[in-house]
Chains A and B, each alone.
Chain A
């Protein structure tokens, strides 16, 4: 039995509890949405300070359709951050709106929903990752097979590559020499010529060393022994290093003493060794002199490179021939391969390389080599590969999207050389807009651009029906970069640094395929 009136009391209590939870706010509007009154939990809804914003947000809810007689919009987050269940009653006198605070309920729901959505997203990611792993495993197996094949091709490839490096560098040094001799350049041009020489010399040494470093450690090494013209070798060293020495105000000399006419050495290797030693000597000699002496001792050929440079501390003298300058101070100034490669080359020529040094006074590197037996003539060593085989393509337009001004300009020159009219852009969006308007025959896009990647430009062009050719350039050469460039819509992918012939071939392929 319940006492009389207890049901009413309970109902009142429940009602009070509910009111406390939902903080109802009543808004009365005219049929034309003019506000008549607001009452209820006005403090809870910050009506005093935000009435205008709240009323505006409520009106917005009914934009586009007049409300039915009664209705509800549950779980609405209004502009201003209020979260409410919105109820309404419409009559001939206007519209009554009731806002019930739904924040706690929505937040509770949100927390559960968040968990479930995150779990679902994570599960999708997991399954994608598993797919990727499977692809990677498959790719690894495929690459292992390729590596075995590639390894056998490496030696032949390095030989070709070495040749390819030497040919253009030879041209660079040759023309530099001509320019320095024939022109009377102003100060700025002199600076530019010196910068070119410095860069080319560095590149030459670096490429030779890296190529040498990539060769197998033992076996398979064949000396290319020729009758050597030391006067020519000395002249090459002078041409290469005198401008660099002059720039540092160093005295630089190359001397030859009592050398037999039939001295036979591996010309390329001895030259590489001397370039390494002299370039090191100049690099580490802030003042004074660097000298090279080439001589015959009666038993051996000797090349002595002396400098008055900073020298090498005793503690590091045993480390100088280790690759990548392990433990040697000042190592960061070069690639750190020069001396280790030089030692290896000298040993391959059955000779020895020694060093003496006094910190603060200078260093002396002494190469001692036996006279070798002639094996081949020097004819083929620096033979030209001929022209790049560039031919003019028949007109056409090209758009280059690259943020590096040097590369952009280089591509422009190359493409103009190939007969294209060329336009240049810097970002993916700019490139897309321009290409979309211009409809060029060829788009060349770098993948690493400021903001969105170059793949976005390719994708958007394809997604807008662009049917011309797209050539993607990238500093990365991994399969994933290639895959994503092709997936985004590129026809071809080229890794930097751009090899001119490869680039020309790619452009030709791209345009012939279009």
Chain B
């Protein structure tokens, strides 16, 4: 039984890999086939750490470049946000940052991390390292690959640790 439980939401443009990141983190699986999300998928994972067991309830919200009324409903009660972009599509980073701005205005001081996904396709990346270096000064940034698993656990663990720290 977990002593500590928090709701986190994944936000980002469609096709950036939010569902795949959750699948990798929760079930350690990956599917090559792109399957769009309708509405929201809610999953959870319990993680043991030095201070006990933490539970993350993860809301994987259908991809949008801006929050509509429905997505705002889904966000209620979230303590943490995971903003996801696709390194091979530069505009998705702008969407992720815009979504972060919108979501922060609806929630009370949520913990945030930015995930720039698809690092396994580095040769096709449009996002520049210098952009992420600048961004990192204001928000934690993780380069991830749901395909290989690189960076995924670290990003979720970072957000979980931040939530524990805030509690």
The answer to whether A79 touches B39, judged by C-beta atoms less than 8 angstroms apart, is: no
Q: Is the CB of B38 within 8 A of A124?
A: no
Question: Which of A65, A73, A106, A452 is close to B120, meaning CB atoms less than 8 Å apart?
Answer: A452
Please give the distance in Å from B157's CB to the nearest CB on chain A.
Answer: 16
Q: How far is the CA of A110 from the CA of B39 in the complex (A)?
A: 9
Cβ of A114 under 8 Å from chain B: yes
The proximity string for A residues 102-131 relative to B, scoring 1 for CB distances below 8 Å and 0 otherwise, is 100010011001100110110010000000
Known: A62-B77, A114-B35, A452-B150. A75 touches B123 (CB 8 A): no
Give bound CA distance, A132 to B62, whole Å: 31
> Do A75 and B39 have beta carbons less than 8 Å apart?
yes
Query: How far does the Cβ of B51 sit from chain A's closest Cβ, in whole Å?
Result: 19
Q: Is the CB of B7 within 8 A of A63?
A: yes
Q: Which of A68-125 contact B (CB under 8 A)?
A: 71-79, 102, 106, 109-110, 113-114, 117-118, 120-121, 124
Q: 8 Å CB contacts to A: which residues of B1-27?
A: 5-7, 14-15
Q: A462 at interface (Cβ–Cβ under 8 A)? A: yes
- The proximity string for B residues 51-64 relative to A, scoring 1 for CB distances below 8 Å and 0 otherwise, is 00000010000110
Q: Does B160 contact A (CB under 8 A)?
A: no
Q: Which residue of A lies closest to B40 (CB)?
A: A76
- Collect the chain B residues with CB atoms within 8 Å of residue A489's CB: 129
**Interface pair B89/A452, CB less than 8 Å apart:** no
For the complex formed, measure the closest distance between the CB of B75 and the CB atoms of chain A, giving whole angstroms. Answer: 10
**A113/B38 contact (C-beta < 8 A), A452-B120, A462-B133 known:** yes
Chain A, interface size: which category?
35 or more
A464 to B140, CA, bound (A): 11
Question: Known contacts A78-B42, A118-B34; is A459 also within 8 Å of B122 by CB?
Answer: yes
Tell me whether A57 is interfacial, beta carbon within 8 Å.
yes
- A464's partner among B15, B78, B122, B133 (CB-CB below 8 A) is B133
**Chain B contact patch, size range:** 35 or more
Asked whether any CB of chain A lies closer than 8 Å to the CB of B146, the reply is: no
Chain B residues within an 8 Å CB radius of A456 = 119-120, 122, 143, 150
B119 engages A64 (CB within 8 Å): no
A140: chain B residues within 8 A (beta carbon): none
Contacts of B166 in A (CB 8 A): none
Residue from the list B5, B34, B133 in contact with A463, Cβ < 8 A: B133
Select A459's contact among B15, B34, B42, B129, beta carbons within 8 Å. B129
Residue of A nearest to B74 (CB): A73
Closest B residue by C-beta to A114: B36
With a cutoff of 8 Å between Cβ atoms, the chain B residues found around residue A460 in the complex are 119, 129, 143
How many whole Å from B68's CB to the nearest CB in chain A?
A: 12
For B122, the chain A residues whose CB sits under 8 A away are 452-453, 455-456, 459, 484, 488
> Given A74-B39, A76-B40 in contact, is the A465-B133 Cβ separation under 8 Å?
yes
* 24 examples of A-B residue contacts, CB within 8 angstroms: A60-B44, A63-B5, A64-B6, A65-B77, A72-B73, A73-B73, A77-B40, A110-B37, A110-B38, A114-B35, A117-B15, A117-B34, A118-B34, A120-B14, A451-B150, A452-B119, A452-B148, A456-B122, A458-B129, A459-B119, A460-B129, A465-B136, A484-B123, A487-B125
Q: Which residues of B contact A (CB under 8 A)?
A: 5-7, 14-15, 34-44, 57, 62-63, 70, 73-74, 76-79, 89, 119-120, 122-123, 125, 129-130, 132-133, 136, 141, 143, 145, 148, 150
